[in-house]
Structure 1
Amino acid sequence: MDPQHHDYTADPHLHASHPVEENKPSVWKKLGGGSLSISIIVHAILLAVGVVWIFQIIPATEQKVDFMPKGGGGGSPGVKEVSNKKQRATMTNPNTPRMAAKGVASTFTLPEPDAASSMSSVGSLSSGGLSGGLGGSGSGGGRGDGHGTGFGSGTGPGLGGGAGTMSPFGMVNPNANAMIGVFFDTKQDPKRKPTDMTPEKLRDVIKEFTNQGWNERSLENKYYKADQKLYQTRVYMPVMSANEAPKAFNCEKEVQPSRWLVIYRGDVVAPKSGKFRFVGAGDDVLAVRFNKKNIFDHGYTQGTTALYVPGKVDVLAGKKEDREVERIIRGGAMRVPVTLYKYDTTANWNNALGGVAVGPEFDVTAGSTYPIEILISEIPGGLFGAALMIQEEGATYQKASTGSPILPLFRTDGSLPDAKGKDNAPPFDSQGAVWKISPTSRRDI
């Protein structure tokens, strides 16, 4: 076969080795169109996912107003859906302001707060001593801007000094016209270890304290002192359980109701010039120091002499001679013979103590300030009571059925106690003058 006329199509090997011309790439491919398409598709998918996610986390606007009415109480019926957490937060701040939402179209109207929805009582601190706890549910609101002066929210029972009932041992809330009271348990030391205190030893402790300057630090270094202070406007404590004092000072779990003592201190302004005498009695101890001088002391035990009075009343009143007892009495605040007043409502004191006693007279000038300290104490335990009144020399008073004068209470504000149907509660004149606490010389303990 002529090589010039070779049939290339008939030679498969020759055909396979010959290059075949490929199609030219399009302009789109030259510009990277394939990769761009993939990128666009991926970004579109991410964008769609992002849009869906955004609409899921943004909730639709609700036409709802969430609030708690002023006062922290129950509020109007339309606010029952408020959460418990918010209620608790509001109760800790009863003056929480009202809130409103701007720019919300709604037919819902914010109700005006009702005065009756103010915060209710925090609870009783004691069954008998604190008489209803830190405020009632009266017509006032918040911290004592109703009718009372304590935490009470008005005329309900609380620790205020207004129409409600206050603890006979004082108020929890500091008061500008109140003496400051502290509580000591002599049966244990500051670290709450037993002191082996006996009634006899306590009488000597009180005698030493009242004759050496009434220095509370000397007691703080030796005996348990309650953290709670009380603010007292008067000493008028009809017969009660001796446990009411630890309850009032919020330490009844740490203190057994015996061999305790309470000290009240303040600086008082004399309401008028003249001569005065303190009158009263204590079960077991009621002693008073006025203007840095022991000026009154009468009870089952004399605090300034440690004398146990029952059985010695005739000597005290000058009806019987006993030189040793007379010597002891003259070493304290009282002077023999001691004048004694009896009342129908002080039967126990009449029998055991001869009644309530009249202390030595003292002079004051109107507007002048005088320091005063009052000590009360329960020694063996059981029942406790005390009452302190004041008598002006030369003044005329109404008489009780026993012939004794009805005297005003020594008090530092205008509030008065309820004495109806209670024993060892002498009658008192409700019109007596108020010995206000000096605002510039008040001393804390």
Structure 2
Amino acid sequence: MSNPQDPSPPELPPQDAAATGVPVEVEADDGLGQKRAKRTFWQKFGGEGFMASVAIHVLLILIAAFLIISVSKESAKKDPNSFATGSGGGAAGDKAKQFKTRLQPKNPKTTAKTPTRITSKSTTATIALPDVPTVAVSSMNAGLMGGGSSKGFGGGSGGGIGSGMGVGRGNGKNFVSVFGSKMAVNGLPGTFYDFKQNKSGKPTPMMGGAPEKFGDPSNSAAIGLYNKEVNEFLDKGFSTSSLADVFRAPDTLLASQIFIPPCPATEAPKAYGVGELCKPSRWIAHYKGAVKPPQNGKFRFVGSGDDFLLVRWDRKVVLDSGYQHFISGNTNVYPGFGQKPYDETRPSKLGKPLRCGPWINATRDKETPLEIVIGETPGGTFYAIVLIEVADASGKPDGQLRLFRMTTDDLPDAIKNGHPSIPGVDMTGGDWIFKPVKASVSR
């Protein structure tokens, strides 16, 4: 126990350093009785030597950069159009002789060829390519002496020839054929059949002796057989099963209208992509689908075809017109519409007037089957025109011929403004544009 009157603090017993838990830094003994100071991490890493190496490398880089820049400036002072040989020594001294080779300007007259006029050697040719534009020699000389030359010389010229090939190809703006289009979305699907060949492409008796020649006597028997086959097809209700062995074009065209002005009969097989396979005679194109009338009212089909045109509405033939008549005959009597002959016609400049069919009662948006058949028998010229005429409130014709249209798509260029052979036709269709019912079409 300590003395309470003694002001000095009590003595504490000595403590073991290990027991206190306080770390003690001990200096290493060098073995001679002297203690050595502890080295830092930078010294252990060799930092002094590293910094010296970096300084030396930086100095070398600066020296190399200086030498490169000096050599580049010295080379730039030399003539860029000269070069030195690789030989060393010689009579000229320590440096090799320098042989200067300069670019020699070309004579403009040797590069400029005299432009020639290219024309056809044919005595019947009506087209000549325009002259190649001439170039002044002085302007060429200035360009060549200005520091370089070019291997190329010349100019360009060109132009279009003609306004189109064939019916329906127009001026290169609209390539939709008047027979229909493969690219269309809506319309009446059409199929081309060539009776002169079977489905394998082999000739049939309807080929005749000269299928490409109009009026050739060797085709008479073939024409008789063709008319018989077409008549059988129509008598069976336009059944395509009767055409199972007839050559069929692989492409199907969608037609927005049937308005084909006079043209060579070769245009039909061309439009269907078989122009190289089919001669321009004894073929038909069969358009089949369904449409919806745009409104209630009475209308009738008006038209003609060379050689024939038939329209079948709601499974009844309502127009049979052209140079051949398979259903109505010369009396123009239509089965299903009584025995009354429909003798009314409308004038045209086609060689024959346009026939008028029986009146039809239309119901707005009623889906109605529709088929149109056009055909060519002996070859030569072909046309097919399908129009409509609407009755007014009194039941009489309103006096306006309208194009029978099934879409509002742009018309082919060849018929945008109608045709002089059938004047006075409203090509817009007015408010009587029928709506085609979409159907699956094999392409």
Distance in 1, matches of 2:363 and 2:336, equals 25
- 2:305 corresponds in structure 1 to 282
Work out which of the two has the higher radius of gyration on C-alpha atoms and give 1 or 2. 2
Distance in 2, matches of 1:421 and 1:266, equals 25
- Give the C-alpha shift of residue 284 in structure 1: 0.7
- 2:424 corresponds in structure 1 to 427
- 2:183 corresponds in structure 1 to 173
Question: Are 1:204 and 2:231 counterparts?
Answer: no
- Change over 3 Å in CA distance of 1:330–1:361 after alignment to 2: closer
Q: Which amino acid aligns with 2:386?
A: L
- 1:116-127 mapped onto 2 (5 Å cutoff): 127=165
Equivalent residue in structure 1 for 2:345, among 330, 337, 340? 340
Distance in 1, matches of 2:269 and 2:350, equals 26
Verify the 8 A CA contact 2:167 2:177 in the aligned structure 1: yes
- Give the C-alpha shift of residue 187 in structure 1: 0.6
- Change over 3 Å in CA distance of 1:375–1:426 after alignment to 2: farther
Verify the 8 A CA contact 2:342 2:358 in the aligned structure 1: no
Distance in 2, matches of 1:264 and 1:434, equals 18
- 2:380 corresponds in structure 1 to 382
- Change over 3 Å in CA distance of 1:200–1:425 after alignment to 2: farther
- Change over 3 Å in CA distance of 1:251–1:185 after alignment to 2: same
SS at the partner of 1:348? Answer: coil
SS at the partner of 2:289? Answer: strand
RMSD: 3.0
- 1:282-361 mapped onto 2 (5 Å cutoff): 282-304=305-327, 307=329, 329=333, 335-343=340-348, 346-349=349-352, 355-361=353-359
Equivalent residue in structure 1 for 2:166, among 128, 133, 136? 128
- 2:192 corresponds in structure 1 to 183
- Give the C-alpha shift of residue 209 in structure 1: 1.4
Question: 1:303-349 CA deviation, whole Å, 9 max, x = no partner?
Answer: 336x5xxxx6xx55xxxxxxxxxxxx556989524211114xx2412
Question: Are 1:259 and 2:282 counterparts?
Answer: yes
Distance in 2, matches of 1:290 and 1:127, equals 34
Q: Which amino acid aligns with 2:433?
A: V
Equivalent residue in structure 1 for 2:173, among 138, 141, 157? 157
Equivalent residue in structure 1 for 2:402, among 408, 416, 428? 408
Identify unmatched segments of 5+ residues in structure 1: 1-125, 137-155, 160-165, 317-328, 350-354
Question: 1:366-398 CA deviation, whole Å, 9 max, x = no partner?
Answer: 11110101000011100000110112222699x
- Change over 3 Å in CA distance of 1:227–1:396 after alignment to 2: farther
- Change over 3 Å in CA distance of 1:347–1:227 after alignment to 2: closer
Question: 1:125-174 CA deviation, whole Å, 9 max, x = no partner?
Answer: x9214516xxx9xxxxxxxxxxxxxxxxxxx6233xxxxxx211011214
- 1:438 corresponds in structure 2 to 437
- Give the C-alpha shift of residue 233 in structure 1: 0.3
Verify the 8 A CA contact 1:129 1:168 in the aligned structure 2: yes
- 1:224 corresponds in structure 2 to 247
SS at the partner of 2:198? Answer: coil
Verify the 8 A CA contact 2:191 2:253 in the aligned structure 1: yes
Q: Which amino acid aligns with 2:403?
A: L
Distance in 2, matches of 1:332 and 1:193, equals 39
- Change over 3 Å in CA distance of 1:268–1:347 after alignment to 2: closer
Distance in 2, matches of 1:239 and 1:396, equals 35
SS at the partner of 2:278? Answer: coil
Distance in 2, matches of 1:301 and 1:271, equals 31
Q: Which amino acid aligns with 1:427?
A: G
- Give the C-alpha shift of residue 273 in structure 1: 1.1
TM-score, normalised by the number of residues in structure 2? 0.53
Distance in 1, matches of 2:188 and 2:261, equals 19
Verify the 8 A CA contact 2:294 2:431 in the aligned structure 1: no
- Give the C-alpha shift of residue 192 in structure 1: 1.3
The structure with the largest strand share of the pair is: 2
Question: 1:218-249 CA deviation, whole Å, 9 max, x = no partner?
Answer: 21x22100011111000001100000001100
Question: Are 1:195 and 2:204 counterparts?
Answer: yes
SS at the partner of 1:375? Answer: strand
SS at the partner of 1:209? Answer: helix
Q: Which amino acid aligns with 1:168?
A: V
Distance in 2, matches of 1:408 and 1:369, equals 21
Question: 1:267-306 CA deviation, whole Å, 9 max, x = no partner?
Answer: 101101122211100111110111111111111011336x
SS at the partner of 2:312? Answer: strand
SS at the partner of 2:241? Answer: helix
Verify the 8 A CA contact 2:327 2:334 in the aligned structure 1: no
SS at the partner of 1:186? Answer: strand
- Change over 3 Å in CA distance of 1:392–1:422 after alignment to 2: closer
Distance in 1, matches of 2:351 and 2:281, equals 19
Question: 1:60-119 CA deviation, whole Å, 9 max, x = no partner?
Answer: xxxxxxxxxxxxxxxxxxxxxxxxxxxxxxxxxxxxxxxxxxxxxxxxxxxxxxxxxxxx
Q: How many positions carry a matched residue from both structures? A: 259
Distance in 1, matches of 2:394 and 2:417, equals 24
- 1:30 corresponds in structure 2 to none
- Change over 3 Å in CA distance of 1:395–1:388 after alignment to 2: farther
TM-score, normalised by the number of residues in structure 1? 0.53
SS at the partner of 1:201? Answer: helix
Verify the 8 A CA contact 2:389 2:400 in the aligned structure 1: no
Distance in 2, matches of 1:248 and 1:395, equals 41
- 2:97 corresponds in structure 1 to none
